[in-house]
Amino acid sequence: MVHHSGSIQSFKQQKGMNISKSEITKETSLKPSRRSLPCLAQSYAYSKSLSQSTSLFQATESESQAPTSVTLISADKAEQVDTEENKKDSVLKCSFADLSDFCLALGKDKDYLDESEHANYDRSRLINDFPTKDKPESKTKLSKNDMNYIASSGLLFKDGKKRIDYILVYRKTNIQYDKRNTFEKNLRAEGLMLEKEPAIASPDIMFIKIHIPWDTLCKYAERLNIRMPFRKKCYYTDQRSNSMGRMQNYFKRVKNWMSRNPMVLDKSAFPELEGSDCYTGPFSRARIHHFIINNKDTFFSNATRSRIVYHMLERTKYENGISKVGIQKLITNGSYIAAFPPHEGAYKSNLPIKTHGPQNNRHLLYELWARWGMWYKYQPLDLIRLYFGEKIGLYFAWLGWYTGMLFPAAVVGLCVFFYGLITMNESQVSQEICKASEVFMCPLCDKNCSLQRLNDSCIYAKVTYLFDNGGTVFFAIFMAIWATVFLEFWKRRRSILTYTWDLMEWEEEEETLRPQFEAKYYKMEVVNPITGKPEPHQPSSDKISRLLVSVSGIFFMISLVITAVFAVVVYRLVVMEQFASFKWNFIKQHWQFATSAAAVCINFIIIMLLNLAYEKIAYLLTNLEYPRTESEWENSFALKMFLFQFVNLNSSIFYIAFFLGRFVGHPGKYNKLFNRWRLEECHPSGCLIDLCLQMGVIMFLKQIWNNFMELGYPLIQNWWSRLKIKRGMQDTSIPQWENDWNLQPMNIHGLMDEYLEMVLQFGFTTIFVAAFPLAPLLALLNNIIEIRLDAYKFVTQWRRPLPARATDIGIWLGILEGIGILAVITNAFVIAITSDYIPRFVYEYKYGPCAHHGVQNENCLKGYVNNSLAFFDLSELGMGNSGYCRYRDYRGPPWSSKPYEFTLQYWHILAARLAFIIVFELHTIKNTALERTEYLL
């Protein structure tokens, strides 16, 4: 490594700067070497799209404004001095970026002292607006890239040079001073620089700005195996024949003539994301000369810097003791009230983005992604990944893929619905029910229910036909295949993204251990077979015992859900007769509908209330297990929350689909709950209408509630915070980090809530889709809003979440595959048991007019309704009534040799139901296997 002290000393003397000898001779460990210069020179042309150093902005600042650090010089003067005094020194013949970074390194090793808590904030150093062309030019001319970099950083220390990488917030009145003081001293000992700044709007709030210097950044980047670019990719193409070249040029001209796809974003507005165009490798200080370092300020992205700082915050002690560690515990005990990485500036600008360019990446994301007017555009996934990290980028990639795949499912479901709507009046079953004015149905309750004419359920019969027609079976098979195709093609899409984002070789072994795990099992170390280093180990006996406790808690919560569903069932039985005797004629005539609707609303309220308890219990059970890494913690927590909410949402639907009206008995011998309440029967037109009502109401209300909680609640909270700020001060020009503090924090569970909402929706879309073909359409409309709602929330309403890396969507992929398997099973049972498809099929080919092809030009379902209703003698009730009433079942009439016993047709239908389930499962499995084979090929 060549020594630079002589040249730099003469250079400083010419500028009239006073620097001690120790500062001059102090050698930075990461200076560019001769070996690194060719690499830097080779990539200099590539660096034009990179932002330059922040020292450009400070070239016009006086030395008195930053007395504790070295004032940087402009590029032109630096290169002039370098040429005059060191013409023979080839080491200093480097690009401006190298020289400015080297000069900056001379002053950065000096410990940065804390500012007073009552220091006055210099607002002139805030960079809130994009520099305009009409402003007078400074002595140092800034290029467009330089200005973009300054605007994109947006947050600097008071010296105007050091970038703010993280923000800590606490209250001055908080008494936990010793813990904070120890924690901050340990942070400085680890190599971080801290600066305190009081809040402008609230005198009790104090901000601690954190900057990570280059040396510390390199040390932890090497420790965390962060992959960085070391060589540009070279793409080679085979030589084509002249005819192929002419054909390609022809197709290019034809493509240029065609109209542009309105869904594609204008890529010219996006910055060049250089990291995706380079080969990468784990960072190493010993091999730093191999990496493409055009500018030390931009070599590590903002997301990477924030991730490294958070790693240090989570592993720094605040008291003596192995468990007294981490910023999260300090937030829990009240020492700090928040910790977050800052946004890159404001997301809005008074200047048009087309003429003046974006202020920062946040502004660009808002204009081209988060605005509601961009709902039909493709998502800028690379920019999302750059700003929010790979984990959030993969979430939006999956959400966009899921939404796009819903288009064919929604179209087919809508066609099935319209087919039922068009043929509704031509249905033989509906016609017979609507004309049966002389057929009386048996009372559906014991006390207040009277005989009903069958034609009173004409409307219900027509509505049922909308969802239970000839296209239902086809749609159920289509959705089973669709679920498999969606998951398999998502795997392909994920593979493309992981390759493009350089995640192929990133393994979970590179994840660091959770501080809680290290603190708990630091005395039990074993050698990691992959890294060869000792690390804490959880004994198998301890792990099994904790898992047993966790599983017991899960079963307890599931039993609580079943108890809640049972309570709703009892409610339906109790109020059934009350609605039947209601004074309001509309309720009295439609008491079954009123009972179902009221039960659905009560069930939804119970679902929302139980969700509050689920989250806390799942959090406690997951922490009790002491997961090894953050991904293990997230997977365990996500699985618990999914099981809780899946059972909570779908238990009542399963009851209606497979148990309602199945065990009621028959008139004169009804089964009763606790020998008191008679079990509920299905409507004369069938049980499918109850299932459709249950699914539609829960799905619709839950989507509205989720959208309100995700956007409406943060909007109200942020509006109230801004209102309080305006009341407390007249000048509302506050720094960006204080604006971020006034935003809502992201949920502590990260993306778990977002994934959980979509996965539960996927279950609604696939599991009972045979009973509700419009579910994919509702999901599609919701997701089109959901993408922009989430984007708007992440960009404008939430503090910037901690960027994190990931290679896939975690345990959610396995959950989705499990839902796909369950969907095949449930749809088969819904068609075979809940709907009337199988009874109609058996009647048509066994008992109807067309059974033996003896009748021509006649509807094969003629007489089906009369055949499906059994007879009961009203005199057996002992209520003074005479005659016969009808009820839905296949039982012998009272005048038969075996009255009220199951007929042969009942057993034929039962055999046909079982046969259909087997054939449906085998056929669906065969088709999905073929689809997967084609995908692999």
Burial-class residue 686 by CB neighbours within 10 Å (0-12, 13-18, 19+).
buried
* Structure-model confidence comparison of residues 80 and 589, the more confident one: 589
Tokens of 123: 């607002």
Instruction: Give just the sign of the alpha carbon dihedral 377, 381, 382, 388.
Output: positive
Q: Do residues 140 and 52 lie in contact, with contact meaning Cβ atoms separated by under 8 Å?
A: no
Alpha helices (H) along 17-95: 21-25, 37-42, 75-85
Band of residue 816 on the pLDDT scale cut at 50, 70, 90: very high
Reported in sequence order, the residue ranges of 438-529 that DSSP labels E, i.e. its strands, are 440-441, 452-453, 525-527
Q: Do residues 851 and 867 lie in contact, with contact meaning Cβ atoms separated by under 8 Å?
A: no
How do beta strands 534-536 and 525-527 pair? Answer: antiparallel
Tokens of 883: 């005659």
Band of residue 236 on the pLDDT scale cut at 50, 70, 90: low
DSSP structure string for 677-702: EEPPPPBTTBSHHHHHHHHHHHHHHH
How do beta strands 440-441 and 452-453 pair? Answer: antiparallel
* Structure-model confidence comparison of residues 332 and 578, the more confident one: 332
Q: Do residues 457 and 865 lie in contact, with contact meaning Cβ atoms separated by under 8 Å?
A: no
Band of residue 133 on the pLDDT scale cut at 50, 70, 90: very low
Tokens of 517: 């795990």
If we measure between CA atoms, which residue out of 300, 292, 370 comes closest to residue 795?
370
How do beta strands 440-441 and 534-536 pair? Answer: unpaired
**CA 842 and chain centroid, separation:** 46
Lowest pLDDT segment from 6-20, 288-302, 811-825: 6-20
How do beta strands 338-340 and 440-441 pair? Answer: unpaired
Q: Do residues 821 and 828 lie in contact, with contact meaning Cβ atoms separated by under 8 Å?
A: no
Q: How far apart are CA 626 and CA 640, in angstroms?
A: 15
Alpha helices (H) along 333-450: 353-356, 361-365, 381-388, 390-422, 428-435
Q: Do residues 68 and 174 lie in contact, with contact meaning Cβ atoms separated by under 8 Å?
A: no
Please write the tens of the pLDDT for every residue from 540-555.
Answer: 888 899 889 988 988 8
Band of residue 126 on the pLDDT scale cut at 50, 70, 90: very low
* Structure-model confidence comparison of residues 603 and 937, the more confident one: 603
**CB-facing half-sphere around the CA of 417: CA atoms within 13 A:** 15
Residues 6+ apart with CB under 8 A from 154: 127, 128, 342, 343, 344, 345, 346, 359, 360, 736
Q: What is the pLDDT of residue 220?
A: 93
Instruction: Give just the sign of the alpha carbon dihedral 128, 131, 134, 139.
Output: positive
pLDDT value at 326 more than 80: yes
Q: How far apart are CA 465 and CA 689, in angstroms?
A: 9
Average pLDDT in the 79-84 region?
39
Annotated domain spans of the chain: 155-235+261-342, 346-377, 378-834
Phi, psi of 540 (to 5 degrees): -65, -40
Q: What is the pLDDT of residue 80?
A: 40
Please write the tens of the pLDDT for every residue from 362-383.
Answer: 888 998 898 888 888 889 998 9
Q: What is the pLDDT of residue 531?
A: 65
Q: Do residues 888 and 682 lie in contact, with contact meaning Cβ atoms separated by under 8 Å?
A: yes
Q: How far is CA 799 from CA 225, 599, 796, in A?
A: 27, 40, 8
Exposed e or buried b for every residue in 870-893, given b needs 16+ CB within 10 A?
A: bbbbbeeeeeeeeebbbbbbbbbe
Band of residue 339 on the pLDDT scale cut at 50, 70, 90: very high
pLDDT value at 769 more than 80: yes
Please write the tens of the pLDDT for every residue from 567-623.
Answer: 888 887 777 766 666 666 666 666 666 777 777 778 778 877 887 778 888 888 998
pLDDT value at 343 more than 60: yes
Q: What is the pLDDT of residue 626?
A: 87
**CA 337 and chain centroid, separation:** 25
Greatest distance between any 2 Cα atoms in the chain: 121
Q: What residues form DSSP beta bridges with 150?
A: none
Average pLDDT in the 328-338 region?
89
If we measure between CA atoms, which residue out of 114, 521, 516 comes closest to residue 315?
516
Q: What is the pLDDT of residue 780?
A: 93
- Which of helix, strand or coil describes residue 525? strand
Band of residue 185 on the pLDDT scale cut at 50, 70, 90: very high
Tokens of 815: 């959950």
Q: What is the pLDDT of residue 579?
A: 66
Lowest pLDDT segment from 127-141, 214-228, 775-789: 127-141
Residue whose pair of structure tokens reads 């034009």 in the numeric block: 48
Q: How far apart are CA 170 and CA 185, in angstroms?
A: 16
Tokens of 823: 């969907």
Q: How far apart are CA 406 and CA 758, in angstroms?
A: 12
Q: Do residues 187 and 194 lie in contact, with contact meaning Cβ atoms separated by under 8 Å?
A: yes
244: enclosing H helix or E strand: helix 242-257
Lowest pLDDT segment from 330-339, 663-672, 836-845: 663-672
* Structure-model confidence comparison of residues 510 and 66, the more confident one: 510
Band of residue 214 on the pLDDT scale cut at 50, 70, 90: very high
Instruction: Give just the sign of the alpha carbon dihedral 213, 215, 218, 223.
Output: negative
If we measure between CA atoms, which residue out of 642, 633, 627, 643 comes closest to residue 749?
633
Q: How far apart are CA 305 and CA 213, in angstroms?
A: 10
Max mean pLDDT among 166-175, 529-538, 711-720, 770-779 falls in: 166-175
* Structure-model confidence comparison of residues 489 and 51, the more confident one: 489
Q: What is the pLDDT of residue 138?
A: 35
If we measure between CA atoms, which residue out of 473, 451, 471, 453 comes closest to residue 461?
453
Residues 6+ apart with CB under 8 A from 699: 761, 764, 775, 778
Please give the share of the chain, as a percent, with pLDDT higher than 90. Answer: 14
pLDDT value at 7 more than 80: no
Lowest pLDDT segment from 57-61, 317-321, 382-386, 456-460: 57-61
Please give the share of the chain, as a percent, with pLDDT higher than 70. Answer: 71
Average pLDDT in the 810-828 region?
89
Radius of gyration of the chain (CA): 35
Q: How far apart are CA 764 and CA 699, in angstroms?
A: 8
Other Cβ atoms closer than 10 A to 107: 17
Residue whose pair of structure tokens reads 């709902």 in the numeric block: 375
If we measure between CA atoms, which residue out of 823, 915, 913, 768 comes closest to residue 467?
768
Q: Do residues 716 and 744 lie in contact, with contact meaning Cβ atoms separated by under 8 Å?
A: no
Q: Do residues 761 and 483 lie in contact, with contact meaning Cβ atoms separated by under 8 Å?
A: no
pLDDT value at 347 more than 80: yes
Residues 6+ apart with CB under 8 A from 891: 666, 870, 900, 901, 902, 903, 906
DSSP, res 57:
G
Q: What is the pLDDT of residue 538?
A: 84
Q: What is the pLDDT of residue 718?
A: 67
How do beta strands 227-232 and 672-673 pair? Answer: unpaired
pLDDT value at 893 more than 80: yes
Kindly report the CA angle at 820 between 776 and 663, in degrees rounded to 5? 85
Q: Do residues 166 and 340 lie in contact, with contact meaning Cβ atoms separated by under 8 Å?
A: yes
Count of H-run helices and E-run strands, the chain: 33, 16
Q: What is the pLDDT of residue 580?
A: 61
211: enclosing H helix or E strand: strand 205-211
If we measure between CA atoms, which residue out of 387, 375, 382, 411 comes closest to residue 397?
382
DSSP, res 654:
H
Lowest pLDDT segment from 9-23, 56-70, 561-575: 56-70
pLDDT value at 316 more than 80: yes
Lowest pLDDT segment from 190-199, 219-228, 253-262, 685-694: 253-262
Lowest pLDDT segment from 266-280, 569-583, 866-880: 266-280
End-to-end CA separation in angstroms for the chain: 54
Lowest pLDDT segment from 106-115, 152-161, 381-390, 866-875: 106-115
Helix, strand, coil percent content, the chain, rounded in steps of 5: 60, 10, 35
Q: What is the pLDDT of residue 523?
A: 79
**CB-facing half-sphere around the CA of 82: CA atoms within 13 A:** 21
* Residue 609 identity: L
Lowest pLDDT segment from 216-230, 291-305, 561-575: 561-575
Other Cβ atoms closer than 10 A to 835: 24
Please write the tens of the pLDDT for every residue from 294-304.
Answer: 888 888 888 89
Question: In whole numbers, what is the pLDDT of the chain averaged over residues?
Answer: 74
Lowest pLDDT segment from 148-157, 734-743, 890-899: 148-157
Tokens of 888: 């839905």
Average pLDDT in the 516-530 region?
78
pLDDT value at 762 more than 50: yes
Lowest pLDDT segment from 18-27, 340-349, 774-783: 18-27
Q: Do residues 535 and 606 lie in contact, with contact meaning Cβ atoms separated by under 8 Å?
A: no
Residue whose pair of structure tokens reads 């090894």 in the numeric block: 628
Q: What is the pLDDT of residue 184?
A: 93
If we measure between CA atoms, which residue out of 346, 340, 394 comes closest to residue 751?
394
Max mean pLDDT among 400-409, 439-448, 556-565, 670-679 falls in: 400-409
Lowest pLDDT segment from 367-371, 426-430, 716-720, 838-842: 716-720
pLDDT value at 210 more than 90: yes
* Structure-model confidence comparison of residues 785 and 74, the more confident one: 785
Query: pTM (2 decimals)?
Result: 0.74
DSSP, res 321:
S
Q: How far apart are CA 737 and CA 167, in angstroms?
A: 7
Average pLDDT in the 164-184 region?
91
Q: What is the pLDDT of residue 522?
A: 77
